[in-house]
């Protein structure tokens, strides 16, 4: 429980709560971006540098901008007239509390916590590349197909309606 | 208070926050934001277990998270395209009003 | 003697760090690197503003600013004073917090990105294993500031400019990264320091820079075009063109915040030029073996100034691209070109050295260029170009 971890954890948790509860959707997205940056900081603390930079590049550089475009294209940037929370919000929060209780109970009673702490692993990008081409080549190809399908699918879904208008 | 315990608890808390947001907000885009938060919390879990686990040299955790980030980005793209398309049809993103299949 | 001038700044830094007590030394060393980068590039920014205005003026057949100081060379001081003392106007309905944070979100990642660029032998602030990925990641983080600036101003023109700029920046990120992938493949590493080291040595008289290979030349040209688009420089400056949208996404900014946007944009240009030099132009290496006595950082900064001069020249010469032309260029032309460039780089790596691989790789680079150019030009009838000069 070192100081950097505590600061990053507080920042990430606060921005996550803010992202889920603010009225203005654009503010929610900006808080979500801060949460993503907090996650990247966690990954860097855990000596996973490639994952940390990939998180910044993909999530902050692409997904956040995508959400922003979607908000502007669906005119959700104006403040809503009714409440932002649905009528059954108590059930939702209750389920989340139960899930957190379950998870923390499982974590605190697990034997994984008693293992000795190893020194940080020496991970180079070359090793990640070698693994991608050797052991994980099939998931790599499948991801390629998945991303192509997602690209074409998203384009078709978002394009089709306009021609019918 | 081992480091692994701290990371797991933070990740579980973030997952619960994302779940609460996805279940209680009315706007479809906010539900998607909650889902992204849950995905990220799971990724953090993977990396924490990779770092403090028995065999970090196998890079399994890092690989899984790389693929998870790619899949999460693709899912966000398709989900947002769906939301935009639904908006053009129903003229609203309020999930309580998109209920034509109800009953 | 050559060695000492080359490592002058490194020995200076080590001597200064020696003054700090033992455990504070890494922090002090990092602070010194940061201070050096900020001072150097802010100074370079000031020089570039005056170079740009004088250069553009001469290209447009007029003098640039020539009142302040001899030949107008003290103009940046006047500009700086003006920016710092101008009244800071924030629109009444603007989103105050986001409006305030947008310039910071632009400038901070840009300074971060400059940390991985090797500016001389042993003169990289952060020698990271995944340095090039770090550079692109923080470059992507600056795009959100454009949106923040445009949206928080509650101004339709700002929002329109921000959307255009954002669409342009994300479209041109793909050719930018793909053209850098060829160099990463050839050097076998994501670290800028290793990439510069892989370009050491000479083939007879010519240096082993990647720009002097067919795929390297194509990659360099594509990288520079994508870099101009990423920095919103002419001919890709539709989002901020003065004749289009007043000032685009920073219409509602005045005084120091406007100067910060300006600074962030120019520093982004420097950073990406620095990365282009590292990837393609051999970093801090000298072009000829007989010129190696000139210090490494002098070579880096001369190459940087040369690239800046090319950017200014292109700005003064080419007309602005329309938004659909711009996007079509990125997706229909540059993306297939970068993909075939990767193919050419791979073929170059695996063929034995000689004339054969030059011919094959040249074909692999030139053929898609001609085919794409023909396909995308359509059936336009272009008349004879007529130049008129002001007299």
Per-residue pLDDT for A162 more than 60?
A: no
On chain B, the residues whose CB falls within 8 A of the CB of A123 are: 56, 59, 62
Nearest to A67 by CA among B22, C145, B31: B31
3-state secondary structure of C202: strand
Give mean pLDDT, residues C154-172: 86
Compare CB distances from A161 to B27, B54, B85 and report the shortest one's residue: B85
Answer whether A33 sits within 8 Å of C144, measured CB to CB. yes
B46: closest chain A residue by CA:
A43
Cβ <8 Å between A27 and C98: yes
Q: Is C353 left (phi over 0), alpha (psi -120 to 50) or beta?
A: beta
Name the residue ranges covered by the structural domains of chain A. Answer: 1-79, 121-165
pLDDT digits (tens, 9 = 90+) for C324-340: 888 889 999 999 999 99
* C229: nearest Cα among C160, C323, C313: C323
Residue C381: predicted pLDDT: 65
Name every chain C residue with its beta carbon within 8 A of the beta carbon of A72: 159, 163
Whether B21 and A21 lie within 8 Å, measured CB to CB: yes
How high is the pLDDT of residue A161? 54
Task: Determine phi and psi for B25, rounding to 5 degrees.
Answer: -80, 150
Mean pLDDT of C82-109: 89
The minimum CA-CA distance between A75 and chain C, rounded to whole Å, is 13
* Structural domain includes residue C384: no
Q: CA-CA distance, C295 to C275, in Å (whole number)?
A: 19
| Residue among C165, C105, C118, C109 nearest C136 (CA) | C109
Peptide bond into C235 cis (omega under 30): yes
Cβ neighbours, 10 Å, residue C92: 7
What structural domains and CATH numbers belong to chain B? 3-92 (1.10.287.3510)
pLDDT in tens, C203-228: 888 888 999 999 999 999 999 999 99
Chains B and A touch (3+ CB pairs under 8 A): yes
Q: How far apart are CA C349 and CA B46, in angstroms?
A: 37
Interface contact flag, C163 A30, Cβ < 8 Å: no
Residue with tokens 């923080």: C138
Mean pLDDT of C245-274: 85
- Angstrom distance (rounded) from CA C197 to CA C140: 27
**Mean pLDDT, range C158-178, rounded to an integer:** 89
Q: What are phi and psi of C64, to 5 degrees?
A: -80, -160
Q: pLDDT for B15-39, tens place per residue?
A: 999 999 999 988 899 999 999 999 9
Domain assignment present for residue C303? The answer is yes
Q: In this complex, do C98 and A30 lie within 8 Å of one another by their Cβ atoms?
A: yes
C140 touches chain A (CB under 8 A): yes
What contacts C73, CB < 8 A, 6 or more positions away?
C50
| Average confidence (pLDDT) over A110-115 | 76
Instruction: Yes or no: say if C265 and C231 are a contact pair by the CB < 8 Å rule.
Output: yes
Q: Transcribe A72-102 into DSSP letters.
A: HHTTTTSPPSS-SB-TTHHHHHHHHHHHHHH
Please report the DSSP string for C256-280 in residue order: HHHHHHHHHHHHHHHHHHHHHHHHT
> What is the phi/psi pair of residue C334, to 5°?
-70, -35
Instruction: Please report, rounded to a whole number, the percentage of residues in chain A having pLDDT higher than 70.
Output: 96
Instruction: For chain A, say whether C105 makes contact (Cβ under 8 Å).
Output: no
Optimal mutation site among B11, B13, B68, interface A, most CBs of chain A within 10 A: B13
Q: C57, C147, C55: which is closest to C98 by C-alpha?
A: C147
Q: How many domains does chain C have?
A: 1
Identify the residue among A53, A60, A121, A133 best suited for mutation to test binding to C, counting C beta carbons within 10 A and taking the highest. Answer: A53
Is A53 in contact with C130 (Cβ distance < 8 A)?
yes
Percent above pLDDT 70 for chain C? 97
What is the distance, to the nearest Å, from the Cα of residue C31 to the centroid of all Cα atoms in its chain?
24
Are A59 and B73 a contacting pair at CB < 8 A? yes
Residue C339 lies in a domain: yes
In DSSP notation, C152-178 reads HTT-HHHHHHHHHHHHHHHHHHHHHHH
**CA–CA dist C173, A57 (Å, integer):** 11
CATH 1.20.120.1200, applies to A1-79: yes
pLDDT at C190 over 80: yes
Domain that holds residue C325: 2-376
Is the minimum CB–CB distance between C144 and chain A shorter than 8 Å? Answer: yes
Residue C387 inside a domain? The answer is: no
Q: C104 pLDDT band (50/70/90 cuts)?
A: very high
Q: How far is CA A92 from CA A58, A88, B16, C131, in A?
A: 29, 7, 10, 43
Residue C105 falls inside a structural domain: yes
Query: How many beta-carbon contacts under 8 Å exist across A and C?
Result: 60
Q: Which of residues 93-152 of A touch C (CB under 8 A)?
A: 124-126
pLDDT tens digits, residue range A78-104?
777 777 787 788 899 999 999 999 999
How does pLDDT run across C27-51, given as a tens digit for each residue?
889 999 999 999 999 999 999 999 9
Instruction: Assess if residue C391 is contained within a domain.
Output: no
Question: Which of chain C's residues have a Cβ under 8 Å away from the Cβ of A64?
Answer: 144
Cα→Cα distances C281→B15, B26, C100, C284, C344, Å: 47, 53, 38, 8, 19
- Among the partner-chain residues C129, C163, C166, the one whose CB lies closest to the CB of A124 is C129
Confidence of residue C314 (pLDDT cuts 50, 70, 90): very high
Q: Is A126 on the interface with B (CB under 8 A)?
A: no
What b-and-e string marks burial along A19-45, b requiring 16 or more CB atoms within 10 Å of the CB?
Answer: bbbbebbbebbbbbbbbbbbbbbbbbb
A60·C98 Cβ contact <8 A = no
Answer yes or no: is pLDDT of A160 > 80.
no
Share of chain B above pLDDT 90, in %: 64
pLDDT confidence tier of residue C244, bands split at 50, 70 and 90 = low
Is B84 an 8 Å CB contact of chain A? Answer: yes
Taking only the tens place, the pLDDT of each residue in A123-158 is 888 899 998 899 999 999 999 999 999 999 998 988
CA C31 to CA A150: how far, in whole Å? 45
Q: Which residues contact B68 (CB under 8 A, 6 or more apart)?
A: B39, B42, B43, B46
**pLDDT tens figures, B57-88:** 888 999 999 999 999 999 999 999 999 998 88
Spell out where chain C has E strands: 202-203, 206-207
The arithmetic mean of pLDDT across residues B43-58, rounded, is 89
């Amino acid at each position: 429980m070192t100081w950097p971890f505590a600061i990053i954890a507080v920042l990430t948790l606060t921005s996550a709560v803010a992202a889920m509860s603010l009225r203005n959707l654009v503010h929610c997205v900006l808080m979500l971006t801060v949460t993503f940056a907090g996650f990247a900081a966690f990954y860097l603390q855990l000596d996973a540098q490639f994952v940390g930079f990939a998180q910044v590049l993909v999530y902050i550089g692409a997904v956040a901008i995508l959400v922003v475009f979607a908000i502007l294209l669906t005119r959700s940037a104006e403040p809503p007239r009714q409440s932002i929370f649905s009528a059954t919000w108590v059930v939702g929060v209750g389920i989340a509390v139960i899930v957190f209780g379950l998870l923390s109970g499982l974590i605190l009673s697990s034997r994984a916590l008693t293992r000795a702490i190893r020194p940080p692993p020496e991970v180079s990008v070359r090793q990640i590349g070698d693994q991608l081409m050797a052991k994980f080549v099939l998931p790599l190809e499948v991801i390629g197909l998945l991303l192509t399908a997602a690209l074409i699918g998203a384009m078709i879904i978002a394009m089709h309606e306009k021609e019918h208008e | 208070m081992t480091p692994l315990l701290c990371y797991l608890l933070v990740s579980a808390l973030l997952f619960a926050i994302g779940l609460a947001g996805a279940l209680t907000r009315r706007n479809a885009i906010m539900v998607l934001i909650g889902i992204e938060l849950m995905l990220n919390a799971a990724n953090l879990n993977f990396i924490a277990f990779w770092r403090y686990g028995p065999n970090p040299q196998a890079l399994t955790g890092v690989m899984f998270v790389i693929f998870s980030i790619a899949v999460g980005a693709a899912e966000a793209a398709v989900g947002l395209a769906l939301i935009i398309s639904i908006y053009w049809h129903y003229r609203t993103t309020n999930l309580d009003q998109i209920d034509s299949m109800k009953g | 003697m050559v060695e000492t001038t080359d490592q002058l700044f490194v020995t200076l830094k080590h001597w200064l760090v020696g003054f700090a007590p033992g455990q504070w030394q890494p922090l002090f060393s990092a602070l010194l690197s940061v201070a050096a980068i900020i001072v150097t590039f802010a100074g370079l920014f000031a020089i570039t503003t005056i170079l740009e205005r004088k250069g553009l003026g001469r290209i447009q057949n007029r003098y640039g600013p020539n009142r302040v100081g001899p030949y107008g060379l003290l103009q940046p001081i006047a500009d700086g004073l003006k920016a710092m003392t101008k009244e800071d106007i924030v629109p009444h309905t603007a989103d105050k917090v986001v409006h305030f944070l947008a310039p910071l979100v632009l400038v901070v990642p840009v300074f971060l990105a400059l940390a991985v660029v090797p500016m001389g032998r042993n003169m990289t602030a952060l020698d990271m294993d995944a340095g090039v990925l770090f550079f692109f990641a923080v470059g992507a983080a600056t795009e959100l500031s454009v949106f923040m600036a445009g949206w928080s101003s509650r101004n339709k023109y700002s929002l329109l400019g921000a959307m255009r700029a954002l669409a342009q920046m994300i479209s041109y990120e793909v050719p930018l990264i793909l053209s850098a992938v060829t160099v990463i493949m050839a050097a076998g590493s994501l670290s800028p320091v290793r990439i510069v080291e892989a370009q050491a040595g000479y083939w007879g008289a010519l240096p082993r820079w990647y720009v002097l290979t067919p795929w390297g030349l194509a990659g360099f040209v594509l990288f520079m075009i994508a870099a101009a688009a990423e920095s919103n420089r002419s001919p890709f400056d539709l989002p901020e063109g003065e004749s289009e949208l007043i000032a685009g996404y920073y219409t509602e900014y005045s005084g120091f915040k406007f100067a910060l946007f300006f600074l962030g944009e120019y520093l982004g240009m420097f950073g990406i030029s620095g990365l282009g030099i590292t990837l393609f132009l051999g970093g801090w290496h000298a072009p000829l073996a007989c010129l190696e006595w000139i210090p490494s950082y002098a070579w880096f900064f001369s190459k940087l100034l040369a690239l800046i001069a090319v950017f200014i020249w292109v700005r003064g010469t080419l007309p602005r691209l329309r938004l659909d032309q711009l996007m079509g260029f990125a997706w229909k032309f540059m993306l297939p070109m970068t993909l075939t460039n990767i193919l050419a780089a791979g073929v170059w790596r695996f063929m034995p050295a000689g004339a054969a691989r030059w011919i094959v790789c040249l074909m692999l680079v030139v053929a898609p260029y001609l085919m794409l150019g023909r396909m995308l030009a359509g059936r336009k009838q272009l008349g004879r170009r007529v130049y008129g000069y002001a007299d």
